[in-house]
Amino acid sequence: MNDFQFLHTAYEDQSKTENTIVKLPDIYLVEDDRVLGTTIKKFLEKKLSLNVHFFLTPTECLLELDKKIKSETVVNQTSFCLITDISFEVGGSDGLLLIDLLKERGHHFVPIVMTGFASIETAINATKKGVFHYLTKPFELDVLSELVVKAFTKKLNIPESAFVNSEVATTKLSQPPAQSSHLFQSKFKIEAPGPDDIFCGMVGRSPQMKQVFERIKKVASSDSTVFISGPSGTGKELVANALHNLSVRKSHNMVSVNCGAIPSELLESELFGHEKGAFTGAISARKGRFEMAHRGSIFLDEIGDMPLLLQVKILRVLQNRVIERVGSTETTEIDVRIITATHRNLEMAVQDGNFREDLYYRLNVIPIKIPALKERREDIPLMISYFLSKFVSADLRNNIEFEDDALELLISYDWPGNVRELENLIERLVILKGGSLIKVHDLPAKFLKVSPTQVESYKSLINLPEEGVDLKQLLSDIEDSLINQALELTGGNKNQASKLLTMNRTTLIEKMKKKGFLQLN
């Protein structure tokens, strides 16, 4: 049977008979704060007349439940509600690991997790494990009791009348709970960044970005070479500009060169300049970027793409602070602060022989690593607001707002293009959907594949019943369900639905005709 199938049947059969008392599942509470745990236990027992087992560690709970499952037959096996903290001081235990272990051992339960250290990553991890709700401490005990009732009625099909305190079921459940069951709704809202969240054109409130901001402040006043690393689109040039603008060199030029965008045969002339007649087309002498940046700063972006032969000359500049124009034998002294950046792994490039080891250590005097956007998801709502203020007109006629589910998808998405990709998306939505509420189907199809509420291991979706299944019919039913879900998510758009299902659009239409529900769009 499926996880709760036999329980659903039992509860439904019992509820059909008048005056039948339904035995409610027990609650297993795991909380290392003895005072809080005892308070929750007493409250739930009094409020809901439920049996609450309280444990200080996940290990104690696991041992007790293992004992219990050994004493029960598969037919009589009962379900329960697990309420657990995520982090425990003793032994580095983990409430999410406890959920995994209980599932592996065949326990049937609905989990609710609590934490005092909420983050986007933790919320997503909890949802992937099938957690019914994610509570951030401190919370109202009434909120917890409402969630327990909701978990029993929605996940186990227990009738509301089964609760001794029927007021909880009839009154509370008819109203929205104090904290929504939507994981991101209460904690992560689009909000305008404050003065402390914006630094030299960069937006961030996450600890990772605060560390970057602090590192920039510390090193800006020095002349040391800075090496900026991070994925493409994270804002490495903004960091370089900040280093220059906060330094004593800010009154002089800041010159930027993208080493990967200039052909290798022209890059030397671009950096060091050339004399008249040095090569075909050199009709006059020309200063290079290093000379233009004299007494200022030069930013060598994508230095990992620089040819090996030119790397030798850059090494000489770093060592001696002199350059030679192409076609000249005279040296020119320069006073310049060198800032470099790359999205490549230069250590790996050194090992592969594609980058000089001596140059790497000369460049890597002061490293600054920019985190990918997926590593600081809590900054995404701030950045959305920041980009909206940039692209929305002053009269707000093309302003956009986001439905909760759409915002959840944006926060859950991995953003391979990082901040640049987010900025481009907001600009596109303002232009194409300005003045409306952005819903899930308004987002590009690639965003619809990552909803954390749908991310589950395929192995745990279906358990093979003892009596077996009609595999052909089951697979047909699953296909019907997924096609319907894809059409629902995309608002009936067959093109986007086919992308979600990774199939050709004509194949999807043929399947819809065959199954008789083409009228959905």
**Residues facing residue 367 across a β-bridge:** 227
Domain final position from 370, 404, 420: 370
- R_g of the chain computed on alpha carbons: 30
136 and 213, same structural domain? no
CA dist 44 and 148 (Å) reads: 9
Cα–Cα distance between 213 and 379 in angstroms, integer? 14
Contacts of 227 (CB under 8 A, 6+ apart): 340, 341, 363, 364, 365, 366, 367, 368
Whether residues 160 and 231 fall in one domain: no
Give the domain CATH number at 78: 3.40.50.2300
Phi and psi angles of residue 149, each rounded to the nearest 5 degrees, phi first: -60, -45
Going by their DSSP bridges, the two strands 198-199 and 202-203 should be labelled as: antiparallel
- Let me know whether 135 and 251 are in one domain: no
Rounded CA separation 50/41 (Å)? 9
Co-location of 230 and 118 in the same domain: no
Maximum average pLDDT range among 271-280, 298-307, 484-493: 298-307
Q: Would you state the pLDDT for residue 22?
A: 54
The first and second tokens of residue 495, run together, are 């093109």
DSSP tag of 162: G
- For residue 90, CA distances in Å to 33, 57, 135, 328 come to 11, 8, 21, 70
Does residue 120 carry a pLDDT above 80? no
CATH number, domain of 310, equals 3.40.50.300
Q: 166 with 73, same domain?
A: yes
Cβ atoms of 112 and 83 closer than 8 Å: yes
In a domain, 124, yes or no: yes
Res. 96 pLDDT band, cuts 50 70 90:
confident
**Tell me, what's the pLDDT at 304?**
94
Q: Which amino acid is at 26?
A: D
- Asked whether residue 284 is assigned to any structural domain, the reply reads yes
Count of domains forming the chain: 2
Rounded to 5 degrees, φ, ψ at 46 are: -75, -40
* Rounded CA separation 173/163 (Å): 12
CB within 8 Å of 380: residues ≥ 6 apart: 373, 410, 411, 422
Rounded distance between C-alpha atoms, residue 416 and residue 78, angstroms: 44
**What single-letter DSSP state applies at residue 86?**
S
Mean pLDDT of the chain: 81
pLDDT at residue 182 in the model: 38
For residue 166, give both structure tokens.
Answer: 């029927």
pLDDT of 277 reads 83
| Range from 121-125, 277-281, 344-348 carrying the lowest mean pLDDT | 121-125
Tell me the residue range of the domain where 313 lies. Answer: 207-370
- Of the given ranges (58-72, 188-202, 305-319, 348-362), which has the lowest mean pLDDT? 58-72
pLDDT tens column, 442-458: 888 788 765 444 444 44
Could you tell me if 162 and 213 lie in one domain? no
pLDDT band at 371 (very low <50, low <70, confident <90, very high): very high
Given 157, 172, 187, which residue is the final one in a domain? Answer: 172
Bridge partner residues of 255 (DSSP): 298
Q: Residue 11 has which token pair? A: 């509860």
Contact 27, 43 (CB under 8 A): no
Q: How confident is the model at residue 470 (pLDDT cuts 50, 70, 90)?
A: confident
Q: Do 141 and 47 fall into the same domain?
A: yes
**C-beta of residue 86 within 8 angstroms of C-beta of residue 134:** no
Would you put residue 358 in left (φ > 0), alpha (ψ -120 to 50) or beta? alpha
The backbone torsions φ and ψ at residue 139, rounded to the nearest 5 degrees and listed phi first, read -140, 160
Look at residue 101 in the predicted model and tell me its pLDDT: 86
Specify the DSSP class assigned to residue 231: -
Highest mean pLDDT among 118-122, 181-185, 290-294, 435-439: 290-294
Instruction: Assess if residue 202 is contained within a domain.
Output: no
Q: Residue 454: inside a domain, yes or no?
A: no
- Asked if residue 292 and residue 155 are part of one domain, the reply reads no
pLDDT band, residue 102 (cuts 50/70/90):
confident
Q: Do 220 and 289 fall within a single domain?
A: yes
DSSP string, 372-413: PGGG-GGGHHHHHHHHHHHHS-TT-TT--EE-HHHHHHHHHS
| Mean pLDDT of all residues in 112-128 | 72
Residue 90's pLDDT is 64
User: Do 158 and 259 fall into the same domain?
Assistant: no
**Residue 461 resides in a domain:** no
Residue 162 pLDDT level (bands cut at 50, 70, 90): low
User: Is the same domain home to 154 and 213?
Assistant: no
Place of tokens 């709502």: 381
Asked if 224 and 336 sit in the same domain, the reply is: yes
Residue 29, beta-bridge partner list: 54, 83
* Mean pLDDT of all residues in 28-46: 88
